[in-house]
Amino acid sequence: MPLDQTDIAALFDRAARHAASFRAALAAHLHRVTAGYADAVAAFAAPTPEHGMAPEEVLDELARRAEPGLATTTGGRFFGWVIGGSHPMGVAADWLTAAWGQNAGNHTAAPAAAAAETAAAAWLLDLLDLPRESSVGFVTGATMANFVGLAAARDDVLRRAGWDLEARGLFGAPPIRVLIGEDAHTTVLSALRYLGFGRDSLLRIATDAQGATRADAFATAVAASHGPTIAITQAGQINTGAFDPHREIVAAAHAAGAWVHVDGAFGLWARACPDRAPLARGVEQADSWATDGHKWLQTPYDCGYAIVKDAEAHRRAMTIAASYLPPVAGRERDPSHLVPELSRRARGFATWAMIRHLGRDGIAAMVRRHCDQARLFADCLGEERGIAIRNEVVLNQVLVQFGADHPAQARDALTQAAIRAVQADATCFAGGALWRGEWVMRLSVIGAATTDADIRASAAAICRCWRQVQAETDAPG
């Protein structure tokens, strides 16, 4: 039977209490899951229900079964990956989004959802200081944002070569050269694969010690390129935070007739902070950009932005049309022309709410604070004997290596032991990564809840765990 209004109000209130209780406990919570995947599978495993259960009982059971296997990604001492903290403002707006149940596929079926996207898109272009004529598609995250930008690039460079991709498909099309840095993120490679570009068809460009594409190597490669060409750059290397030299790369690419796509999943937000904007100088001259909302803007998950300067190229690559869909009048912005989904969540509401809540100054202050905290992290850890900081801390990423005075193989073993010790201690959460063939601890400072006190407490815990590893390593027997 349908729930009446009293039942609905009680159920939504109960969900809010569960959510608030989870968030309230984070400050004192160990920064690790208490149940692994196998435990979580066992917790949820049960025969298919033959009979229903009261809604409030279902909600209580869901919280009870899920919470032991929930990561503390919204806590102040989570540094494992570059993911934001799902700010309470964005979460509240996302609750309304779910309750409203709007399908943001087109602007006639869900006018308010489409209008929120239109307004938020204009704000995003202003905050990121990108060409205001650009179109913005609201996608799941940076992987699909890269996919959309590169789909527009593929269509455009083939069109300029006289090939109609929509009519003729890829079979027999002129080959497209793709130039990409050696340290590109794996999600860009995935997007390329989805679009039909094999690994061997990519021309990998040499990078510097921080993972930024070398301008000289790129200029040489693009000058030798003939035919349709796509160049892919990075604004914020996933390990070091480094930026490609965009002014030089974009100029060389455009001189050769190439389309430039920027993977700026988190680093593009540096442009919203006057202190850090010079890192991304020249990015605005590219042709398309990908970034996330659920990273530095702190929206809930399922929120990314595909930005394309040539709105027509964007629409050609993405438009979904059918006789039963409402027609578009004039230059109206229809969401179904900008993303590869027809049925989807109304992502514009949470984006609108977060920008309205923080404002330009609040977003700039948050980016600045996290970058300063990354520097504080590096300074605190760098004072400890045997710890080395392996990157230039220009943004929010810190690479930490343990056993700095040992041979490479020993450094790897000590670093991995230190990571295990930190994860067992659970004062904070940090993970490992391979960088230049050696293991490092990677610290990503990007959570909305993170304070300077969290940084100092986490640094102290990491140093304490490192001393423990040294003592165990030096112990006889």
SS3 133: coil
Q: What is the pLDDT of residue 284?
A: 98
Q: What is the pLDDT of residue 473?
A: 85
Closest CA to 22 of 61, 75, 58: 75
Q: Read out DSSP for 208-250?
A: -TTSPBPHHHHHHHHHT--SSEEEEEEBS-TTT--B--HHHHH
Q: What is the pLDDT of residue 146?
A: 98
* Cα 67 off chain centre by: 24
Structure token digits, residue 245: 């030299």
SS3 428: coil
Q: Per-residue pLDDT tens for 380-421? A: 999 999 999 999 999 999 999 999 999 989 999 999 999 999
pTM over 0.75, yes/no: yes
Q: Quick one: pLDDT band at residue 453, thresholds 50, 70, 90?
A: very high
* Cα 39 off chain centre by: 28
Q: What is the pLDDT of residue 477?
A: 44
Q: What is the pLDDT of residue 30?
A: 79
Q: Quick one: pLDDT band at residue 37, thresholds 50, 70, 90?
A: very high
Q: What is the pLDDT of residue 328?
A: 65
Q: Quick one: average pLDDT of 423-433?
A: 95
Is 470's pLDDT higher than 60?
yes
> What is residue 275's DSSP assignment?
T
Is 475's pLDDT higher than 70?
no
Percent of the chain with pLDDT over 70: 97
Instruction: Count CB-CB contacts under 10 A for residue 463.
Output: 18
Between 199 and 191, the more confident residue is 191
Q: What is the pLDDT of residue 44?
A: 96
Q: Per-residue pLDDT tens for 127-165? A: 999 999 999 999 999 999 999 999 999 999 999 999 999
Q: Are strands 397-402 and 438-444 parallel, antiparallel or unpaired?
A: antiparallel
In terms of average pLDDT, the best of 27-36, 100-109, 281-290 is 281-290
Q: Quick one: average pLDDT of 228-236?
A: 98
**Mean pLDDT score of the chain, rounded to an integer?**
94
Match 């112990």 to its residue by tokens.
475
Q: Per-residue pLDDT tens for 357-387? A: 999 999 999 999 999 999 999 999 999 999 9
Between 322 and 9, the more confident residue is 9
How far are the Cα atoms of 96, 158, 294, 308, 337 from residue 107, in angstroms, in the given order?
19, 30, 24, 20, 10
Please name each of the domains of the chain with its CATH number.
102-354 (3.40.640.10)
Q: Quick one: pLDDT band at residue 321, thresholds 50, 70, 90?
A: confident
Query: Among 143-147, 298-302, 321-325, 450-454, whose mean pLDDT is lowest?
Result: 321-325
